[in-house]
Amino acid sequence: MEEMKKLLFVCSGNTCRSPLAKVLAERIFQEEGLEGWEIDSAGTAALHGMSASRQAMSAASALELDLSAHQSKPLTQEAVSRADLILVMTAAHKKVVLSLVPQAAGKVYTVAELAGAAGDIADPFGGSVALYLEVARELQKHLKTIARQLKTNGLPRRGSALDKEEEGRREVKDENSTGQ
């Protein structure tokens, strides 16, 4: 039997975005017939054992998903090393992952980046249920795109077009920051 691939979602507190992404991905992967994935979530500044926020639970419920069993957990080097693909909510989260495990560079992407979009997934923390639902729908849209890409192309590979594009952005940034 083929070994399960591991997908890790990362946000800050692991009580809003990444738990929503996890349950959304579980459903979307099932709907898309994408099998063999173990999906988890963690937070760069998470405490251990916190439930999902009330608003995240309400947004999940509105999408017929359940976050009642969620328990937050902090991001660890082990979790990063074990994952085959790491999807983070923001560029700042990507930096934290890479500071923990620099060798993860070929497997960590922002959700938007892997879906071919720009920008970060905004943190709805403290906002209304409507804001959480908006974030959940944005995640849902991106995750449908990602699921189809994974089904068609498999895992993104180091040296892929996305990595080259990211490398180009870094080079431009480096050029802009020199000589000042």
Beta bridge partners of 11: 43
Contact in structure between 143 and 156 (CB atoms under 8 Å): no
Neighbours of 166 (CB within 10 A): 16
**16 catalytic per annotation:** no
- For 83: left if phi > 0, alpha if psi spans -120 to 50, otherwise beta; the answer is beta
Distance CA 94, CA 97 (A): 5
**17 catalytic per annotation:** yes
Report which residue type is found at 47.
Answer: L
Kindly state the helix (H) or strand (E) to which residue 40 belongs, with its residue range: strand 37-43
Distance CA 147, CA 136 (A): 16
Cα four-point dihedral sign 157, 161, 166, 168: positive
Contact in structure between 102 and 81 (CB atoms under 8 Å): no
**137 catalytic per annotation:** no
Which of the residues 27, 123, 137, 148 is marked catalytic? 123
Catalytic positions:
11, 17, 123
